[in-house]
Copies of this chain bind each other. A is one copy, B any other.
Amino acid sequence: MSSRVEKKVSKKALNASFWRWWYGNLTCFTHEHMQTFGYMWSLFQVIDDLYETTEEKGEKLRAYWPFFNTEPQIGCIVVGITAGLEEARANGDPNVDDEMINGIRAGLMGPLAGIGDSLIVGTYIPVLLAVALGLSEGGSVIGALFYIVVWNATSIYFQYTIFMRGYELGGTAVDIIVGDQATALRGAVVLLGQIIVGAINGAWVNITTPLEFKNAQGEVFLNLQGQLNGIMPGLLSIGFVLLCWWLMAKKNMKPLTVMLLMILIAFVGVLIGFFDPQLHY
Interface residues, chain A, with chain B CB atoms under 8 Å away: 114-115, 117-119, 122-123, 126-127, 130, 213, 221-222, 224, 227-228, 230-232
- Distance in angstroms from A143 CB to nearest chain B CB is 14
- Distance in angstroms from A142 CB to nearest chain B CB is 18
Is A222 touching B127 in the complex (CB atoms < 8 A)?
Answer: yes
Residues of B contacting A221 in the complex (Cβ-Cβ under 8 angstroms): 130
The residue that A228 contacts in the complex, of B117, B123, B224, B228, with Cβ under 8 A, is B123
Known A-B contacts A127-B222, A130-B222, A222-B127; A122 and B213 likewise in contact (beta carbons under 8 Å): no
Q: CB-nearest residue of chain B relative to A117?
A: B230
Residues of B contacting A231 in the complex (Cβ-Cβ under 8 angstroms): 114-115, 118-119
Is B228 touching A118 in the complex (CB atoms < 8 A)?
Answer: yes
Residues of B contacting A230 in the complex (Cβ-Cβ under 8 angstroms): 114, 117-118, 122
Q: Which of A114, A224, A227 has the most CB of B within 10 A?
A: A227
- Distance in angstroms from A119 CB to nearest chain B CB is 6
Q: How far is the CA of A255 from the CA of B224 in the complex (A)?
A: 41
- Interface SS, A side: helix
Q: How far is the CA of A114 from the CA of B232 in the complex (A)?
A: 9
Q: How far is the CA of A166 from the CA of B84 in the complex (A)?
A: 50
Is B126 touching A213 in the complex (CB atoms < 8 A)?
Answer: yes
Residues of B contacting A213 in the complex (Cβ-Cβ under 8 angstroms): 126-127, 130
The residue that A123 contacts in the complex, of B117, B127, B227, with Cβ under 8 A, is B227
- Distance in angstroms from A207 CB to nearest chain B CB is 17
Q: CB-nearest residue of chain B relative to A122?
A: B227
13 A–B contacts from the bound complex (CB under 8 Å): A114-B232, A115-B231, A118-B228, A118-B230, A118-B231, A119-B231, A122-B230, A123-B227, A123-B228, A126-B213, A126-B222, A127-B222, A130-B213
Q: CB-nearest residue of chain B relative to A130?
A: B213
Q: How far is the CA of A119 from the CA of B127 in the complex (A)?
A: 46
Known: A114-B231, A118-B231. 7 other contacts (CB 8 A): A114-B230, A118-B228, A123-B224, A123-B227, A126-B213, A127-B213, A130-B221
- Distance in angstroms from A118 CB to nearest chain B CB is 4
- Distance in angstroms from A133 CB to nearest chain B CB is 8
Residues of B contacting A117 in the complex (Cβ-Cβ under 8 angstroms): 230
Q: CB-nearest residue of chain B relative to A232?
A: B114
Q: How far is the CA of A17 from the CA of B114 in the complex (A)?
A: 50
- Distance in angstroms from A193 CB to nearest chain B CB is 20
Residues of B contacting A228 in the complex (Cβ-Cβ under 8 angstroms): 118, 123
Q: How far is the CA of A93 from the CA of B106 in the complex (A)?
A: 42
Residues of B contacting A123 in the complex (Cβ-Cβ under 8 angstroms): 224, 227-228
The 3 tightest CB contacts between A and B, nearest first, are A118-B230, A118-B231, A123-B227
